[in-house]
């Protein structure tokens, strides 16, 4: 089991009045000074190949192609999402200042489930928020949140704040993925496994020994509170459409409870297929997008952003004869990808792989050959995206926003333009090396090792008492 480094808390004044005197907020990295910094900090461009690089052996250059996987292209929408995440990661702790008597009472009530007569504070109000990032597969949802969270420590260890004892662990964020079976139990166990990985605890084993899902959810609430979890990322939420019975509604209710009662901010990642789950629940949709939403759309062929994207990737040409990126080449590149970033990166990677040791050049013919052979299985989705024809897009349930979901967004006050096209869920997120992204740790099918029955032992709910 890997163990994440526990960073000793170092407190810095944020310059924001409402954050002053809150050790959980002041222990986080300094805030960016400008909006633009949210983009520049996310961008990542590895060293570009030189003429000398392109003279290397065929195999050496084939190995270098994986450099394409390391590029993080900062889309303008990332700025909005970055500001939202930075705000939520701090706002979540405004109502959960560990030095306040009210928060100590709240934490104690959650830890004991009110069994000792001390109730949940009636006037406590959550400061947590929810943000929804929606995009078709391959448009960079997971890339965005992964790049953003790299700047944040995952576990902070507190010992004292301004001379006052404060002994506790602060888990800044967790990243979960709704499993394909969309069961609440699977998601809960995944939560405990992540906490165990970070803190070297054994909650997953204890949770599996519980006989009822209600008890497991209660334990999850207690642990999340005890470790001062601030921010929860839940990916692949569209998988809830596979939930049996009322499981989808149960999980959405749990997400709302995490925001409202536990005070933990939530960042939801999903494809448009999630609309079938949320469009019938205005209350949950409002909570999940209480701090807005970000919609990432595939680029159009005449979009200046598409030109800039192509020019950025073109610099990473490893073929011997780096040609000119003209309109003909860009159009062939677009035909092979329909403006989807993952498909575009994949088409460029595969085309170079095919041409190294052969013609040693990338042109329109190279992209056409790649589309017809290596990417043939993706062509139905790519053709639907290029067409922008609602009838063709409707053949894939996460390519198109339904009229009912559009009406729901309007009801909730969403102002963002909806994407006109998207990709299908059946096609996994594809990286530039042609392999599906591994969005979560592979789960073993082996039976879990026996463990002691859960005895109720948890970290103390009051950090001042630890």
Rounded to 5°, angle at Cα 295 from 294 and 298: 145
Token couple for 362 = 């990338």
Q: What is the C-alpha separation between 103 and 134, in angstroms, rounded?
A: 33
Does residue 330 sit in the same domain as residue 425? Answer: yes
Does residue 49 sit in the same domain as residue 116? Answer: no
**Cβ atoms within 10 Å, residue 43:** 13
Q: What is the C-alpha separation between 434 and 447, in angstroms, rounded?
A: 32
Whether 346 maps to a domain, the answer reads yes
Does residue 281 sit in the same domain as residue 325? Answer: no
pLDDT at res. 104: 85
Does residue 109 sit in the same domain as residue 240? Answer: yes
How do residues 372-385 score in pLDDT, each as one tens digit? 999 998 888 888 78
Rounded to whole angstroms, the maximal C-alpha distance in the chain is 78
* Total of domains in the chain: 2
Whether 36 maps to a domain, the answer reads no
Q: What is the C-alpha separation between 223 and 416, in angstroms, rounded?
A: 36
Q: What is the C-alpha separation between 232 and 265, in angstroms, rounded?
A: 6
Exposure b/e, 122-147, CB count within 10 A at least 16 = b: eebebbbbbbbbbbbbbbbbbbbbbb
Does residue 276 sit in the same domain as residue 315? Answer: no
CATH label of the domain that carries residue 213: 3.40.50.300
Does residue 82 sit in the same domain as residue 216? Answer: yes
Does residue 205 sit in the same domain as residue 258? Answer: yes
Rounded to 5°, angle at Cα 451 from 447 and 452: 150
Q: What is the C-alpha separation between 160 and 71, in angstroms, rounded?
A: 40
Residue 46 C-beta-side C-alpha neighbours within 13 Å: 14
Does residue 272 sit in the same domain as residue 342? Answer: no
Whether 440 maps to a domain, the answer reads no
Whether 1 maps to a domain, the answer reads no
**Cβ atoms within 10 Å, residue 63:** 12
pLDDT at res. 269: 93
Which of helix, strand or coil describes residue 425? coil
pLDDT at res. 444: 40
Q: What is the C-alpha separation between 89 and 94, in angstroms, rounded?
A: 10
Whether 420 maps to a domain, the answer reads yes
Q: What is the 3-state secondary structure (H, E, C) of 198-231?
A: HHCCCHHHHHHCCCCHHHHHHHHHHHHHHCCCCE
Low-confidence ranges of the chain (pLDDT < 70): 1-3, 114, 117, 280-281, 389-466
Q: Which domain holds residue 411?
A: 41-72+299-435
Rounded to 5°, angle at Cα 222 from 218 and 224: 115
Whether 390 maps to a domain, the answer reads yes
Whether 140 maps to a domain, the answer reads yes
pTM: 0.80
Whether 461 maps to a domain, the answer reads yes
Instruction: Please measure the distance between the N-terminal and C-terminal CA atoms of the chain and give it in whole angstroms.
Output: 26
Does residue 64 sit in the same domain as residue 199? Answer: no
Does residue 107 sit in the same domain as residue 170? Answer: yes
Question: Is the distance from CB of 71 to CB of 313 less than 8 angstroms?
Answer: yes
Does residue 325 sit in the same domain as residue 185? Answer: no
pLDDT at res. 456: 41
**Cβ atoms within 10 Å, residue 31:** 15
Does residue 303 sit in the same domain as residue 190? Answer: no
């Amino acid at each position: 089991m890997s163990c994440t480094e526990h960073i000793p808390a170092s407190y810095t004044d944020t310059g924001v009045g409402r954050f002053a005197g809150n050790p959980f907020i002041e222990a986080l990295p300094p805030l960016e000074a400008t909006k633009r910094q949210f983009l520049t900090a996310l961008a990542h461009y590895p060293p570009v190949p030189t003429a000398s690089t392109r003279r290397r052996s065929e195999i050496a250059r084939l190995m270098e192609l994986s450099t394409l996987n390391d590029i993080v292209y900062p889309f303008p929408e990332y700025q909005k999402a970055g500001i939202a995440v930075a705000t939520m990661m701090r706002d979540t702790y405004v109502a959960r200042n560990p030095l306040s008597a009210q928060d100590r009472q709240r934490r104690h009530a959650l830890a004991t489930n009110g069994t000792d007569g001390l109730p949940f504070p009636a006037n406590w109000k959550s400061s947590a928020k929810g943000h929804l990032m929606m995009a078709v597969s391959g448009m960079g949802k997971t890339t965005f949140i992964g790049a953003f969270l790299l700047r944040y420590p995952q576990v902070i260890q507190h010992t004292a704040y301004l001379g006052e004892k404060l002994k506790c662990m602060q888990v800044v964020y967790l990243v979960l993925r709704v499993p394909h079976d969309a069961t609440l139990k699977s998601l809960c166990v995944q939560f405990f496994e992540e906490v165990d990985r970070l803190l070297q605890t054994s909650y997953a084993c204890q949770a599996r020994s519980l006989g009822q899902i209600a008890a497991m959810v209660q334990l999850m609430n207690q642990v999340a509170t005890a470790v001062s979890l601030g921010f929860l990322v839940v990916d692949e939420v569209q998988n809830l459409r596979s939930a049996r019975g009322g499981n989808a509604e149960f999980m959405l209710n749990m997400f709302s409870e995490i925001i409202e009662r536990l005070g933990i901010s939530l960042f939801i990642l999903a494809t448009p297929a999630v609309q079938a789950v949320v469009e019938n629940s205005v209350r949950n949709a409002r909570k999940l997008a209480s701090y807005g939403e970000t919609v990432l759309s595939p680029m159009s062929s005449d979009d200046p952003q598409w030109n800039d994207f192509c020019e950025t990737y073109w610099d990473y040409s490893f073929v011997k004869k780096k040609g000119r990126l003209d309109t003909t080449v860009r159009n062939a590149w677009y035909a092979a990808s329909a403006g989807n970033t993952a498909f575009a990166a994949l088409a460029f990677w595969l085309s170079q792989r095919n041409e190294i040791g052969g013609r040693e050049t990338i042109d329109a013919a190279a992209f056409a050959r790649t589309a017809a052979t290596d990417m043939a299985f993706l062509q139905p989705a790519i053709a639907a995206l290029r067409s922008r024809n609602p009838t063709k897009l409707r053949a894939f349930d996460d390519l198109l926003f339904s009229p009912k979901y559009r009406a729901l967004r309007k009801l909730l006050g969403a102002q963002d333009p909806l994407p006109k096209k998207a990709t299908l869920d059946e096609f996994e997120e594809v990286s530039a090396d042609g392999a599906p992204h591994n969005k979560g740790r592979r789960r073993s099918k082996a039976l879990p090792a026996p463990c002691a029955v859960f005895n109720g032992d948890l970290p103390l709910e009051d950090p001042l008492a630890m």
